[in-house]
Structure formats: C-alpha cells, structure tokens
Structure 1
C-alpha cells in the first residue's frame, strides 16, 4: 500500500531534507505530510533516547490571533484560565466546543498582549476560531501565518541548540520561548516538543529559511550523531503523550482525557463549554484515559479501536499500542470505564493478533 500524493497534501519547507534522509513512511496531518519512520520505529526510538534528532513538524499549523480582543477570543476557546499568561509563555490548552467536547489540544504562545499563535494538533480549527470571532463581533484578526515548526529533540538537544542560538536559548525554562537571531532573521525558539526526551521547537517564518536551517543543524550536530527523526509511537505512549484523533476526539471531555488540571472551570470566564464542563467537574468522569500493559509477544499496529472486556461487558478500548524494547511489554493507552480503571485490574483486549490480557497501570512508564 502506498500514499497517493497530490497538491491537496502540502509539502513543507523541510521536505527536501526529510526525503534526502531516507524517510520510509508518512501520515497525513492537517493536510500535510508528517514523517513517521526513517530507519525503523524501534531504531528511531533508540536513537531518540540517546542522541539528538531534527523533526519536520511543520504540520503543527499555527492559528494566529491578532488584535485588541485576541486574548478574549482565546479564553472563549479553552477552559484553562489564561489571565496569568505572560508574553514569552507557552500554555497547553484543551480547546472545547459548547458541550465540553475536545476539538484540539494545542500549545498556545503569547507573542504580545495582542498577538498569539495556537500551534494545533490534527484537526480543523482555523474556521471554527474565525467563526467564533465573527459571531462575537470581536476586534481580532484570525489567520494561518506562514510559520513552520522544526523540532530538535533528544538528550543532546541542548548542546546542538547552543551552537546555533547560544546559551540564552538553552537557559529557557520549560514551556517558555524567546526571540533569537540566526542569519539575520529573528526566530521564535521554545523549550517544548512532542517527546519526553527534552528539546526545542523553532518556529520558522517563511519557506526560504527552511532548508538552510535544516542543513545548519545537521552540520552543527554531526559529532553528536544528529539525524532526521519524527514523533515516535513507542516513546510517546511510554510518556503518556496523547494523540488527538487517536486517544481522544470530540466525544471526550478534557476530564476524560486526564486533562482536568488544565480546566479552571470556576475562573475561566467566557469559555464556550464552561457550563457543560462545570457539571462534569462536579460529577466526575465515568471513563478516563489509562496506561495499560498488554501481555505476550508484540501485538502489531493499532490502527483501530481494540475493545476492552470484563467478562461479557465492554468497559473501554485501547487506542494506541506498541512493543516497548525498554520495558519488554506492549505499552498501550486506552479509555477505560470508572468501574474498571483501578491499577492492577485485568481485562481482555481484542487485538489483531488475538485476545490478550491487558492490565491497568497506576501511571505511564516515563
């Protein structure tokens, strides 16, 4: 099976570098190509945990809010209280609809008092935000800027970033960003990324700087074992990094996704889904994301829901799974009902490799 490419699937400013590095697989994410594997999922995983990788994550498209009401519009989108957010900070924000259902789980960057970027996961958000701004008659411009993130991830990321952007970039605290000069251009560099190995995301404005920056990072990191990489399935499951569209959808509230700590329903005045989430907050969720071990040999690709059973009763589903070389088990993320989500509970899961025992864990592996 192959992916049929067309102009509807947009390339990125870093696509030539990805292709030259020998990418072996893609997925479609926000109508763009996201690399999924270079050498192999397990080899990429091992390299990510020991070296440093450059990731083309231009698929993390930005929704820019600019104008006097930019902050007000952002608060309408999320139940997280944004009043304490300062320029230079990144906030992980659940974005919900009027029922409290998850529409996206982006990272918001506050560039100035009247300007924000929302770095989105894989779901349409631009038109939803534009419509809300128009319907509320807010003084705000909502557009997709020409901004493409490039991630530097892994335990040697600090060393590589220092070589291009200096020690001040390395001194950034987690979920903070700054403006740094490179080749006469000012770039946003944030200490963030979709891995538990540590690293940075560089927000590249305009396509012309894409490959020069990619090549400069590759050259500067040659002695560090740098190579092209991508978000790794095994590592993200171990670290409990949820994937919108896989582990959560609009059918789930933030509380079901284990994101209750990002919901300040009493103080997030103006959030569209606030009333619905207040009810969920008081009653508590009846199902929630859990980490699980699946017994036996590697179970293979989880490209559909795998039902979880307690006897003859369905009590949830596995949504992501992979064999972990470090933990020598099949690591998994699933949505499990309240009655069966306690650590140590044994359930039966229907996988494509047959029925297996799935044991609920008390937390994620990393």
Structure 2
C-alpha cells in the first residue's frame, strides 16, 4: 500500500468530511460538499485551498541571479524585489521538467515554488547546475501554503489580518509579520479569480486555516474544483498538459520565453511537432485524459490531456495535443470509451469573466 505524506491540514480535512485521495504523493482533499458547489462558490465568493504539498526552495548569495538565470526560462534581469514570475525548468531538449514561479525576495535572493511531485527531481537538477558558493536550500517541509481565491478573497484577507492589502498588484507580493509571524502574501493563484497565496510557517498553517474557514464567506475547496477552475481559465497542469516530451512553445506558452540570454533547453525550442489546443464540446459528456482526438475524416491527430464539464459554462471543455500541422483545424472528433463527440477549437480562456486582474487599490 502506498505510503502517503500528509500536510499540516490533513487531519482537519478528514474531521470535516473531506473525501481524500492520493495526489503528488500526498493524502489530499478532493471535495467536501461537491465539486460543482465548491467551484461555483469560488467563482462567486471565496474558497480556501490546502496547497502545502508544493515545494519551496530558497537561493541566495552573490551571483545568485546570474547563476539561476542560466537554469530557468524566466528573465531574472527584469524581475525586481517584490515581484514574482511564472516560467519553466527545461531539459536539454527543451522539454518541460516543471513549471514554477520564482519570487525575487531581494537582490540575489529568491524563492522558487515548484510542483510537489517534482520537488526532489527539481532540487537535484537546479543544484547540479548552479555555480559553487551559493546557498540553495529546500524549505518545503517547514513551509505551509494556503490559497484564498474568489471575488471576496481580498475582503476576507483584510478581515483576517486587520489591515488593508488593496495595494498589492497582480503577481506582486510582500513579506509581512502582521499575523505575528513571518508570512509572504502573494497576489497570485490558479483559478482565474482575484486571489492570494499565503506562505507561512507550517506550524501556523492550521491556525490560519481555521480562522479563514470560520468566515461565513469562505468554504474549503478540494482538488476536484481546483481542477475545473484552472481548466476553465486554460491553465495547464504539470504531468498532463505539460511534460518532459513537450516544449513550452508546443504547450502554447511560448510568450513566457522572452529572455535573450542562454539557459538550459533553449536550443531545443525551435522544433514544434505538436500543439496544445483548446476544445469545446457541446453537452455534459466529458472527454478524459488519453481520449483520442480525430480529424473529421476519422484520422487520429492527437490525445486529450485535460477534460471536464465546465460548471461556469454548462458544457465540456478540454485541452489536447494535436499534430502541429493540424493546429489550425476548427473541427475535431473526440473518441471516448462510449461515443465520438464533435469538438470545436476554442480560444483561451474558456471562461472570460474571472476577476484575477481587477483593480483593487
């Protein structure tokens, strides 16, 4: 039987009726009151997410920027303290080892946030490619992470901390001790809604979680709704839509690759064999991971990587890799276990009414 890791909140989830399942080697909550209920609550009010399974690394020392700049796709030359940026850790062929967010804490001081399932692999890869003399530490076990997302998340956060965070702009963060201990508050998230990610001592995670959960505007949200929320916005999931066999350009994320300097994998980005496309499917019948994608003549061109019923839209949506030469095709067929479903290529995001970038100051 698989031995699963727990988060500081795992016991609370079980005590409060969560359906639990393995995810990234952790025992994680899938749902509490139901995926659609939790999805709609996040879109309309505020939801809290246990993201303590993620990995966090700290890097510091003279030359940290220059060293890290050769390892990741992020442009660190333009990343100022107090700002964070999304990007990729690539293999030599340009395939995606992981997607991650880098926080610039100060000049030559960074925090890297990676996917939990990739934590050890990422740490080893980065450490092996950094110059000597830097301090590179895995602080995942001592770091808790709670996300609060939804249109009312700012008001809830202001109530929790007794201070205003209206000034914080999208993909900006601050280090604060207003809760009585050091905490990073980052205006980021994975739902497309106004939201904040809280990085705090693991020993304080349960205390803050309980205070948030006690607010009438807040509901705990499981991984099920987190997945439907991110898919409606078109955010990719590592291990499904992103992997070591596809480059960021193939994944439709080439616009993140703005750096002029050389970094691992850059030379492999030119070859585009497949393209990730967004598909809309009428009705509630859902495409699943690995379902085949066909051209109208019945010829296979690719596979579904993510698919779900979209609660905000009332029909199924999906992401799929298809042959690059078929990427401009407007009509496809998704071959499921029980039916062949007509699919229409869509633009991203599927859901266009998210509040993530709204002005708050």
The TM-score normalised by the length of structure 2 is 0.89
CA positional deviation for 1:254: 0.5
Q: Compute the displacement of 1:312 (Å).
A: 4.1
Once residues 306 and 52 of structure 2 are traced to their aligned partners in structure 1, the CA distance between those partners, rounded to angstroms, is: 23
Q: Deviations over 1:193-247 (max 9, x none)?
A: 1111121000012x3211111112223x22x2x1111342222111001100011
Identify the residue that residue 337 of structure 1 maps to in structure 2. Answer: 323
Q: What residue number does 1:287 align with?
A: 274
Partner of 1:138: 132
In 1, Cα distance between the equivalents of 2:99 and 2:116? Answer: 9
Please state whether the residue corresponding to 2:193 is helix, strand or coil: coil
| Equivalent residue number for residue 210 of structure 1 | 205
Distance change (3 Å), C-alpha of 1:70 and 1:260: same
What is aligned with 2:261?
268
1:157 corresponds to 2:143: no
Question: Aligned equivalents of 1:246 and 1:132: distance in 2?
Answer: 22
Provide the rounded CA distance (Å) in 2 between the counterparts of 1:45 and 1:128. Answer: 31
What is the CA–CA distance in structure 2 between the aligned matches of 1:127 and 1:321, rounded to whole Å?
27
Specify whether residues 288 and 296 from structure 1 end up closer, same or farther in structure 2 by C-alpha distance, changes over 3 A only: same
Once residues 128 and 45 of structure 1 are traced to their aligned partners in structure 2, the CA distance between those partners, rounded to angstroms, is 31
Give secondary structure in 2 for the equivalent of 1:73. helix
Structure-1-length-normalised TM-score: 0.88
Output one character per residue of 1:79-117: Cα deviation in whole Å (capped at 9) or x when no partner.
Answer: 232101111111101111111100111111111223211
SS at match of 2:276: strand
Structure 2 residue 269 is matched with structure 1 residue 319: no
68-77 vs 193-202, greater mean Cα deviation: 68-77
Q: 1:65 aligns with which of 59, 63, 69?
A: 59
Write the deviation string for residues 331-364 of structure 1: whole angstroms up to 9, x where unpaired. 1111122332226x21121113322112111333
Aligned mate of 1:298, from 276, 285, 309: 285
C-alpha contact 2:10 2:28 (8 A) present in aligned 1:
no
Q: Which runs of 5+ in 2 are unaligned?
A: 352-361
- Tell me which residue corresponds to 1:236: 230
Cα distance, 1:191 vs structure 2: 0.5
| Structure 1: gaps of 5 or more residues | none
Partner of 2:33: 39
Secondary structure at the aligned position of 1:46 is classed as helix
Q: Does 1:177 align with 2:173?
A: yes
In the alignment, structure 1 residue 112 sits paired with structure 2 residue 106: yes
